[in-house]
Structures are given as structure tokens and as C-alpha cells.
Homo-oligomer: A and B are copies of this chain.
Amino acid sequence: MTALPAREPLTRSTEDYLKAIYRLSSGGAPVSTNDIAGLLGLAPASVSGMIKRLSEQGLLEHMPYRGVSLTPDGRRVALRMLRRHRLIEAYLVAFLGHTWDTVHDEAERLEHAVSDDLVERMAHALGNPRVDPHGDPIPAPDGTIAEFIHVPLAEIAAGESVTIGRVDARDDGRLRYLAQHGLVPGARIAVVDREPFGGPLTLDVAGQRKIVGPELAALILCERGGG
């Protein structure tokens, strides 16, 4: 299997650092100390210290003053945490009445406490979903993760119809607003009209007219294709 070599159990901090670094690695470039500190809400000096420890554990590659990247082991941990986080979110929404704007904080803590066994039981109860409530792909147990090709709603031309695939908002307020207006993953929407120069879009969402500004339109990621 892809089992990690026997090592000390990772701490909550360690797991959150690796998850953050994974997220910041999307571009492929090394991740900066400052960006990690920003995402985790820590002082840059604290991040430098942790980077040293994680490198010694073989979870990160560190080029001093240049940035870090995940080793295969580090990446494995990050994807495992992502699987946990997203499955927990999906489970809480499906079975315990949470909504997509409230699940994140709960999952952020539970992801460190659940056993592999419990995660897989939740996955099974959910029917092994491929995405979480925000449309983010759920890594497979072996660390495989799907790459969806999404286009921001902001770039869709008037007249086009699309399906919402993912919503990139992080805060409760925006998430609640979007849900209220039916702008959730899976929704079919049509761009009826759009004003130029960053102006608002007029949408057809389930037969209703909705106006959406450019800020939100950048966060709503769509799948082209289908009519």
C-alpha cells in the first residue's frame, strides 16, 4: 500500500501546516513562509521554526529563503487530511443538518480526531461521494485526486448555460447568500446578460432572474458543456 513509514503520530499543528502548504502549492512554485503564516494566522518566525521541524521529519523540502515544497510523504499526509476534511463536511451536511456555511470550522477540528476507520464509514454512508458540499474534490484513500476544469462565472459569455461545479467562497456570509439564491454546486444556470467593464451579470437560476456582481462571479466556478 501507500502506507507511510512508521513514525510518531503527527500533531494537529503538523497536519494543518501540511494541508496549508498543499493548498498554496497549486501553482507548482515553492511556497513562501509569509504565505503560510498568512493562511494559518501565525507569525512568520513561528512558521520558520515549524518548517525546520517538518523538514527534519522528511515531510518538506526547504530551500532557505526560497520556500518549501511537499515531499511525497508530506503530500500524502496533506491529501489524507483533505479527504478527511471534505468527507466530514459532506457527512455533517448530509446527516446532521449542517449547512455549507457552518461545516468548515467543525471539520477543521474533527479532521485531526477521527480514525481512518471512521472516515471510511462516513464515506460509505455517503455513497463514496467525489466532491464535498462546496464542490471541492475528495481525494481517494490512495491519494488520487480529481482535477476538475472549471471556468469562473465571470468569464462566461451572455447566452451560455453552465453547471456550477465549485464555489470558492470561504466565509459564512457569502456562502449563505449564494445558497439562498440557489447558486450551489450542481445548479444549472444561464447567463442572460452581462454588463461590460466588470459590471454585473444577469442570470437565470431555475427560472428566476438573479443579478450577481463581479466579486461573487469570480468565486462561482462552472462546468461548460451541455446546453
Residues on A lying within 8 angstroms of B by beta carbon are 92, 95-98, 102, 105-106, 109-110, 112-115, 117-118, 121-122, 125
Contacts and interface: CB of A to CB of B under 8 A. Distances in A.
A14 to B, nearest CB: 16
7 contacts: A96-B122, A96-B125, A98-B121, A106-B114, A106-B117, A109-B113, A112-B113
Number of copies of chain A assembled together: 2
Contacts of A122: 96
Contact of A96 (B92, B105, B109, B118): B118
A106 B115 contact: yes
A102 B117 CA distance: 10
Contacts of A110: 110, 113-114
Please indicate which of the listed interface residues A92, A96, A114 has the most CB atoms of chain B within 10 Å of its own CB: A96
A92 B118 contact: yes
Given A97-B121, A105-B115, 10 more contacts: A96-B121, A96-B125, A102-B117, A106-B115, A106-B117, A106-B118, A109-B114, A109-B115, A110-B114, A112-B113
Nearest to A103: B118
Contact of A95 (B92, B95, B113, B114): B95
Contacts of A117: 102, 106
